[in-house]
Amino acid sequence: MLIKKAARIASSEITDEKHWKQRRQFLKSFALVAGGVLSPSILLADEAEKLPAAMPHIKHTDYGKGLKTTAYKDIRAYNNFYEFGTRKEDPARYAQDFITRPWTIKVSGECEAAGEIGMEDILSQITQQERIYRFRCVEGWAMVVHWNGFSLSELLKRFKPTSKAKYVAFETLYDPKQMPGQKRRVLDWPYREGLRIDEAMHPLTMMVTGIYGRLLPNQNGAPLRLIIPWKYGFKSIKSIVSIQFTETQPVATWNQQVAKEYGFYANVNPQVDHPRWSQAYHRNIGEGIFSRKQKTEMFNGYADEVAHLYSGMDLKKYF
């Protein structure tokens, strides 16, 4: 179908710069479709000058040492970020001019010191670390990333949550002028997510400000996103503008949208399949659709650190 579309372009149009660029973009897209995720670098081949700034003074940690990491170019080219489009390559195309400064996060709800904090304050006041975490998508793909940021608990404690704070709710920016995907009602915007307070306070739960020693690229959730390495990727909300402490379980977008397919907890569990595919195996992004599948580990390999959070719970019911 795509080939027929290209064939309809007249030769007189191809010499025009506008149509030449369109054809070039089509070829990039076709390469991604034909190769699955084999060629994400093609999409960003001419974007080297747009690389985010390097992050100074990053504290290195032992998290994930020894794991084979995913290439930086692959992480920048393969994203789920529906605010910029539903295809994996859309965020890298349409988020390049997204404005991430100034940026303020509002913190409210069941806490003693509700208020706001800016990204510059976060970057200057909280020590940035590098951690290597596995990251698991629900579609059967995984990656291992050098994340830069800090434990979410460091930020939350500053606002002094009360004993009524049983959950933490998060919300993404809503700005259809900058985020063209929000012009379509594919989801109930803005994107929302939530964690239990003990999950949010766990030291592995990370607020991410960068990857591979550079400030977080726009398509990866700049300027601030969440990573919970033992949960599926859709829990890792991007471009956060609001954090709220709540007494009751908050709305989570995909759980609200399709509750039978996406549970509130979204813990990586090879024993609980998605209705439309198995979760027992996965492939690593960048290794291609014909690479050998790997067995999925319980809690994505972090069971020793987090299994106690769910002691006594039926993890097939609370998936």
User: What stretches of 164-227 show up as alpha helix (H) in DSSP?
Assistant: 197-200
The enclosing H or E element of 7 equals helix 2-7
pLDDT at position 43 is 39
If pLDDT is split at 50, 70 and 90, which confidence band does 273 have? very high
Task: Tell me the one-letter amino acid at 214.
Answer: R
Is 170 in contact with 267 (CB distance < 8 Å)?
A: no
Q: Which long-range contacts (CB under 8 A, 24 or more apart) does 45-52 make?
A: 47/92, 47/96, 50/96, 51/214, 52/210, 52/214, 52/215, 52/216, 52/217, 52/222
Count CB atoms within 10 A of the CB of residue 20: 13
pTM (2 d.p.) = 0.85
pLDDT at position 165 is 98
Residue 109 vs residue 23, higher pLDDT = 109
Q: Select from 272, 274, 256, 259 the least CA-distant residue to 310.
A: 272
Question: For the segment 258-270, what is each residue's pLDDT rounded down to a tens digit?
Answer: 999 999 999 999 9
Rounded distance, CA 206 to CA 228, Å? Answer: 6
Rounded distance, CA 9 to CA 19, Å? Answer: 9
Is pLDDT of 5 > 50?
no
Q: What are the Cα distances from residue 28, in Å, to 9, 40, 44?
A: 17, 9, 9
For 85-94, 122-131, 162-171, 286-295, which range has the lowest pLDDT when averaged over its residues? Answer: 286-295
Q: What is the pLDDT of the chain when averaged over all its residues?
A: 87
Is pLDDT of 53 > 70?
yes
The domains found in the chain, sorted by start residue, are 54-310 (3.90.420.10)
Q: Select from 251, 242, 248, 226 the least CA-distant residue to 115.
A: 242
Residue 296 vs residue 33, higher pLDDT = 296
Is pLDDT of 10 > 90?
no
**Mean pLDDT, range 181-199, rounded to an integer:** 98
Asked if the bond preceding 40 is cis, omega within 30° of 0, the reply is: no
Phi and psi at residue 54, in whole multiples of 5°? Answer: -70, 150
Q: Which long-range contacts (CB under 8 A, 24 or more apart) does 291-299 make?
A: 294/142, 295/270, 296/136, 296/268, 296/270, 297/268, 297/270, 298/268, 298/269, 298/270, 298/271, 299/230, 299/267, 299/268, 299/269
SS3 state of residue 267? strand
Residues whose CB is less than 8 angstroms from the CB of residue 226 and which lie 6 or more positions away in sequence, other chains included: 152, 170, 193, 205, 206, 207, 208, 235, 236, 237, 238, 240
